[in-house]
Amino acid sequence: MWLHLHLAKESPVMPRKKYDAIVVGSGAAGGCAAKELTEGGLDVLVLEAGRDVDPAKDFNTHTWPYQHKYRGNFAPGVKERTQWNQIYADGFTSHLYLKDSEHPYSTPAGQPYIWVRSRIVGGKILHWGRNARRLSDYDFRAADRDGYGENWPIRYEDLAPYYDKLEEFVGVCGSRENLPQLPDGKYLAPMRLNCGEAILRQVAPTLGLGMTVIPKRAAMRPSSTHGLGQCHFCGTCEMGRGCDVNGFWNSVGDTLLAARQTGRLTLRPNSVAHQVLLEKGHGDRVRGVSFFDRRTRRYQEAESQVVVLGASALESTRILLNSVSRHWPDGMANSSGVLGRYLMDNIGGPSVEGFLPALMSREVVNEDGKAGGIDVVAYRNMTERHPKFIRSYVHEGATGAQLFPHYANRISGWGEGFKRRVKRNYTAWFSLNTRGEMLARRENFVEIDKARVDAWGIPVLKIHCQHSDNEREMAKDAAENLRALAVAAKAENIRVEDGLLTPGMIIHDMGTARMGNDPKKSVLNKWNQAHDIPNLFVVDGACFVTSGGYGPTLTIGTLATRASAYIVEEMKRGNL
Amino acid sequence: MRGRKGITRREATKILASAAGAPLLPQLPSSGARPHHLPVSPSRKTGPWVPKFFNAHQNETVTALAELIIPQTETPGAKAAKVNEFIDLVLGEENPKVQQEFLRGLDWIDLKSKRLFSLRFAELKPEQQKTLLDGIADDANTEAEDQVGVSFFKNVKARTVFAFYTSEIGIHQELQYKGLDYLTEFPGCSHPEHSDWDPKT
C-alpha cells in the first residue's frame, strides 16, 4: 500500500544472506531494474546513498511563494555555502539535492562542469523534466550516417519492445506523429495545446527548415494507468518540486512500488556505495558491494550473485574506478581503458523569448497547469547534411501565463505604465530553448582525484569536459533558427541567447562506461553487461554511446528494463 | 483551500480517490499542514511590523520607491503588498557587501534629491520624485555622477518586482494567475482560430 511510500524500513540490519542481485541506486535506472528483477522472481537489495523520501512532506506541492519565508528562494548566502553546484535547487526543493559541501569533486582550472545530483530514494527522477522521447536509428546508427564515432551495439528494433513495456507501465502522454527520427510509443492522450503553442505550431512549418511542433512527450499520467497516481494539473512538477500524488514517472510511486509489491525487494537507504567486491581469487567475478552507512559511517558489505549499478552515469563509473585491486589496478572491468572516457551532457543555452501580440491582454487562463509545453522535433541533418556540424538538436517550448513573470525586469521603465506592460504581456509570453547532441569525445573524461575524498572518505571524481566546435556551431545555428521562428510569429521584444551553458547543466550526464560490441573499445556489451565480468552490469546513462535523443531518461529506464530481463533469463539458465 | 477557478482540495481528493488507483493514493495534506522543510513566513501576531535592517527613514524611502515602481492602480501596489518588509527581511540577512551597496544607493537618492529640490526623496512631491526616477531609470544616462543611482534603480526595481509578483496581491489580484489548482482535465486553448490541431492518439 502507499503507506507514505516509506518504502524502506528504518535501517534494516543487514541479514547475513546472499541476494540474487544488488542494485545500486533507486532512480530511473535502479527503479526499473528493481521492478524487472523482482518481478522475474529475484531477491533484490537496492542500496540508495540518500535518505528515504516522503511524498506527503517532501514535495511542497500546492504551496504559494508567499507561504515561504524567502518566497521560494534560499535564505541569503546559504546556497553559496552549501549547494553551489545544485543550480536548480531552491527554497522549496533544496532537500531533494545533495550538499556540495559533503560531496566535492574537482575540475581543471578554467574548465567547469556543473554536476547536479540528488541523493535520496528516487534520485533525480523525483524532479526531472519528464521529457520522454524515444531514440531512433538516427542515434543508434549515427556513425553509419556521418562517419563519426561509434554505433551503438543495438538497433531501435532491439529496444522497441522494452520502450513499449516501460511506457505502458509508467504512463507517457503524447501524440502519434509518424516521424522517422522520433518513433511513436504507447501513449496516453496528449495534453491539449495552449494558445501560444497552437500559434507556434502553425508558424514553425512556414520557415522551410523542416520544423514540426508537437505536444511534449511527457512521462506523466493525465489519466489513470495501472492504478498509479494520477496528474491533477497543478503544474508543480515543472517547478522541480516532485509530486505528492505521484502523477508522473518518479520511481518511488511506480517502478519501486511495483518492486516492493512483489515482496522480494529490500530497500536500504543511507547506504553510500564504495566498491564492487571481487570474488576471492577471481578477477572476472564479483560477489557484492561494500558501502558506508550515511549516518554512522560504519563500513558494511552485502553479497549477491549479480551486481547492477544504476547510481547515475558518473557515480556508477566512480564506484568502478574506486574498485581497484590486484586484478584491476585502473578500475574494475577496465581492460579497454575506456572506463571514464566519452563523457557527454546534452547541450543547452540557445533560446528565444518574446511576446505574441495576438495574445496580449487576454483573460488569464490556466496555462502552466499541464506542466508540459511543446517540442520542435529534430530537423537538422535529417535529410540534408549541414555544412558546419553533424548531429542534431530539438527545441522545447512553453507559452502563456506562468506563476512568476520572469520577463518583468526586462520591461523598461517604472510606474503605472510598467505595471500595465507586465500585465499586458502576461498571457503573451513564450520561450523556446535547445537540447542538442554533444559528441562523444575521448578527451572528455573522469578520473579519480587521489587528493580528495568526500564526507565518507571515498575518493572523488575529477571531471574533464569541454565543448568542441561542433557544439558551438550547432548552438549558433539553433539560436538563429529560434530568432527566425520568433520573427515569423511576429513576436515583440524578442531576446535571443546564443551561448552554450556550462557542461553538466542540462543534467544529462552520459557515457563513461559505454556499450559496444568490441571489448577493446567499450566497457559493456549490448546487454549492459561488463565485457570483463559477466555478473556485473551498469544500467544507467554511463552506457550511452551517443547523446542523441536529447533526453536520456526514458532510454535509461528502457535499457535497465532490458538488461534486467536478460539477467533474469540468464540466471534461470544458470549462466550467472 | 479552494482553487481559483477549480475544485476544492476535498473534492480533488474524492475524485482522485475514486480513480482506479485508490489504494495507492495518499491523503492530500490538509490545508493547514505545512511540509516540514518549509521555513514559514514570519509571524505577525505581535504588534506592528518594524524594520530589522532599515532605519525608519530608509524604510520610508524604500516604501516610496517600491510604490512608485509598482503603484496602486485598479489593483493594489507595492506598498499594500508590503514589498518593503520583504526587502528588509532579505537585505538583513545578506552579506555586508550587498547591504552596503543598497544603503549607498539610498544615500545617493537623498543626496541627489537635496541637490535638485532641497528635500530628502521621501519628502518630495510626486512630480519631483518622477523627475528624479526618470533620470536614473534611463539606461542611456551615462552621466558619471548618476551611475550609482542608475545601478541602484536596477537593484531596487528587481527587488520590488520579485517581492510584488510573489506576494498574494501580486499573484492573485494583479496577475490573476489561475494555475496551481486541482483539475480533472487540462482545458488548453479553446479559441477556434488556434484550434487547427486534432491530437492523433
Q: How far is CA B191 from CA A196, A541, B165, B180, B181, in A?
A: 11, 42, 28, 23, 22
Q: What is the pLDDT along chain A (576 residues), one digit of tens a residue?
A: 233 344 454 444 555 689 999 999 999 999 999 999 999 999 999 999 999 999 889 999 999 999 999 999 999 999 999 999 999 999 999 999 999 999 999 999 999 999 999 999 999 999 999 999 999 999 999 999 999 999 999 999 999 999 999 999 999 999 999 999 999 999 999 999 999 999 999 999 999 999 999 999 999 999 888 999 999 999 999 999 999 999 999 999 999 999 999 999 999 999 999 999 999 999 999 999 999 999 999 999 999 999 999 999 999 999 999 999 999 999 999 999 999 999 999 999 999 999 999 999 999 999 999 998 999 999 999 999 999 999 999 999 999 999 999 999 999 999 999 999 999 999 999 999 999 999 999 999 999 999 999 999 999 999 999 999 999 999 999 999 999 999 999 999 999 999 999 999 999 999 999 999 999 999 999 999 999 999 999 999 999 999 998 999 999 999 999 999 999 999 999 999
* Strand runs labelled E in A246-356: 265-268, 271-278, 286-293, 299-309, 351-355
Kindly provide the ipTM of the predicted complex, given to two decimals: 0.94
- What tens digit of pLDDT does each residue of B17-30 get? 433 333 333 333 33
Contact list, A177 vs chain B (CB under 8 Å): 200
Q: How is residue A327 annotated by DSSP?
A: S
Given this model, what pLDDT does residue A55 score? 86
Average pLDDT, integer, range B134-138: 96
Given this model, what pLDDT does residue A56 score? 85
Given this model, what pLDDT does residue A135 score? 98
Q: Residue B176: is its pLDDT beyond 70?
A: yes
| Contact (CB<8Å) A365/B178 | yes
Closest-CA residue of chain A to B20: A227
Average pLDDT, integer, range B58-77: 98
Q: Report how far residue A35's alpha carbon sits from residue A262's, in angstroms, rounded to the nearest whole number.
A: 9
Q: Residue B89: is its pLDDT beyond 70?
A: yes
Q: Which of A171, A133, A201, A32 is nearest to A565 (CA)?
A: A32
Q: How close B79 gets to chain A, by Cα (Å)?
A: 13
Q: Residue B45: is its pLDDT beyond 90?
A: no
Instruction: Dig out the grid coordinates for B67 from the structure.
Output: 510604490
| Contact (CB<8Å) A236/B182 | no
Closest-CA residue of chain B to A199: B194
Contact list, A198 vs chain B (CB under 8 Å): 189, 191, 194-197
SS3 category, A131: strand
CA B44 from centre of chain: 18
Q: Using the structure block, give the residue that is written with the C-alpha cell 587528493.
A: A451
Contact list, A194 vs chain B (CB under 8 Å): 188-189
Q: Using the structure block, give the residue that is written with the C-alpha cell 590486484.
A: A326
- By the 8 A CB rule, do A435 and A393 touch? yes
Name, in order, each residue with C-beta under 8 angstroms of B118's C-beta and a sequence gap of 6 or more.
none
Instruction: Dig out the grid coordinates for A502 from the structure.
Output: 556550462
Q: What is the CA radius of gyration of chain B?
A: 23
Given this model, what pLDDT does residue B200 score? 53
β-strand A271-278 against A429-436: which pairing, if any? unpaired
β-strand A271-278 against A286-293: which pairing, if any? antiparallel
Q: How far apart are the first and last CA of chain A?
A: 33
Closest-CA residue of chain A to B90: A76
Q: Report how far residue B132's alpha carbon sits from residue B119's, in angstroms, rounded to the nearest whole number.
A: 12
Q: How many residues does chain B have?
A: 201
Given this model, what pLDDT does residue B33 score? 42
Within B70-146, where are the H helices? 83-93, 96-117, 126-136
- By the 8 A CB rule, do A162 and A561 touch? yes
Given this model, what pLDDT does residue B2 score? 36
| Contact (CB<8Å) B171/A403 | yes
Q: How close B110 gets to chain A, by Cα (Å)?
A: 19
pLDDT band at B165, cuts 50/70/90?
A: very high
The rounded mean pLDDT for chain B is 83
Contact list, B171 vs chain A (CB under 8 Å): 64-66, 403
| Contact (CB<8Å) B179/A194 | no
Given this model, what pLDDT does residue B1 score? 35
Which ranges in chain A are annotated with CATH 3.50.50.60? 17-153+249-346+440-466+504-576
pLDDT band at B78, cuts 50/70/90?
A: very high
Q: How far is CA B182 from CA A47, A56, A507, B20, in A?
A: 35, 16, 30, 18
Q: Report how far residue A94's alpha carbon sits from residue A402's, in angstroms, rounded to the nearest whole number.
A: 22
* Strand runs labelled E in A428-478: 429-436, 445-453, 459-464
Contact list, A195 vs chain B (CB under 8 Å): 189, 191, 194
Contact list, A253 vs chain B (CB under 8 Å): 24
Q: How close B167 gets to chain A, by Cα (Å)?
A: 5
CA A99 from centre of chain: 19
- By the 8 A CB rule, do B11 and B182 touch? yes
Cβ neighbours, 10 Å, residue A454:
17
Which ranges in chain A are annotated with CATH 3.30.410? 191-215+349-436+467-502
- By the 8 A CB rule, do A274 and A261 touch? no
Given this model, what pLDDT does residue B111 score? 98
Is the CATH number 3.50.50.60 carried by domain A17-153+249-346+440-466+504-576? yes
Given this model, what pLDDT does residue B198 score? 60
| Contact (CB<8Å) A69/B171 | no
CATH topology (fold) of A191-215+349-436+467-502:
Cholesterol Oxidase; domain 2 (3.30.410)
Closest-CA residue of chain B to A222: B185
Given this model, what pLDDT does residue B30 score? 38
Contact list, A413 vs chain B (CB under 8 Å): 137
| Contact (CB<8Å) A68/B186 | no
Q: H or E segment at A246?
A: none
Q: What is the DSSP string of A21-76?
A: EEEE--SHHHHHHHHHHHHTT--EEEE-SSB---HHHHS-TT--GGGBTTTTSPPT
Q: Report how far residue A513's alpha carbon sits from residue A528's, in angstroms, rounded to the nearest whole number.
A: 9
Q: Residue B15: is its pLDDT beyond 50?
A: no
Cβ neighbours, 10 Å, residue A170:
28
Q: How far is CA A456 from CA A25, A278, A307, in A?
A: 17, 21, 22
Q: How close A67 gets to chain B, by Cα (Å)?
A: 6
Average pLDDT, integer, range B186-200: 74
Given this model, what pLDDT does residue A17 score? 84
Closest-CA residue of chain B to A423: B175
Contact list, A259 vs chain B (CB under 8 Å): none
Given this model, what pLDDT does residue B192 score? 79
Q: Using the structure block, give the residue that is written with the C-alpha cell 500500500.
A: A1
Q: How close B56 gets to chain A, by Cα (Å)?
A: 22
What residue type is assigned to position A56 of the chain? Answer: A
Q: How far is CA A114 from CA A200, A463, B71, in A?
A: 32, 10, 40
SS3 assignment for A361-408: CCCCCCCCCCCCCEEECCCCCCCCCCCCCCCCEEEEEEECCCCCCHHH
Q: Give the pTM.
A: 0.93
Long-range residue pairs from A570-575, CB within 8 A, at least 24 positions apart, any chain: A571/A20, A571/A42, A571/A305, A571/A306, A575/A534
Q: How close B192 gets to chain A, by Cα (Å)?
A: 10
Q: Residue B196: is its pLDDT beyond 90?
A: no
